[in-house]
Amino acid sequence: LDAGGHLDVETRDGRGRNLVGAPGKVLVVQFIDPDDGAAAQELRELFAYQETRGEDASAEIVVLVKTDSFAALDTWLAKNGLVPPVPASLTVDPEGKTTLKFNNKRTLETMFFGPDGKLASQARGRLDWKLDARRRIAEAGAGASIE
């Protein structure tokens, strides 16, 4: 995130967002491809985590979904009985361009960036949100970096 350029995501409000830069707090980017059979369960666990963490100003979660539109995403969420507790955390990457710029090659992956924008850790595949997320967020907040 600290290298410059553009990592644009499409937000529900239509304004969009560039993720490049030092976020000033931990930024968790969750990559989801609805075509992955484990995607619904991953989001179910992430949503449960979001419900339990309450107002945590030290970290922000951005869910980057590889889908054509919010209408397609909403249809998929409803089909899987998923209701996001923080709807604004969902973004879409219609052509997968931003996902590729993150060098993400997996249908499920989570990256944890520190307040300075450096990559602190990543979970390739499913993440155990109950057991692993708080620790990784704390490490990223303390300045851990794998870059």
- Say if residues 94 and 10 touch (Cβ distance below 8 Å): yes
**Nearest partner of 141 among 44, 24, 10, judged by Cα:** 24
Which spans in 57-107 are helix H?
70-79, 97-101
pLDDT tens figures, 48-59: 999 988 666 789
Given a cut of 70, whether residue 82 has pLDDT beyond it is yes
pLDDT tens figures, 92-120: 998 888 888 888 888 899 999 999 999 99
Sign of the alpha-carbon dihedral angle for 56, 52, 68, 29: positive
Q: What span, in angstroms and rounded, lies between the C-alpha atoms of 14 and 57?
A: 24
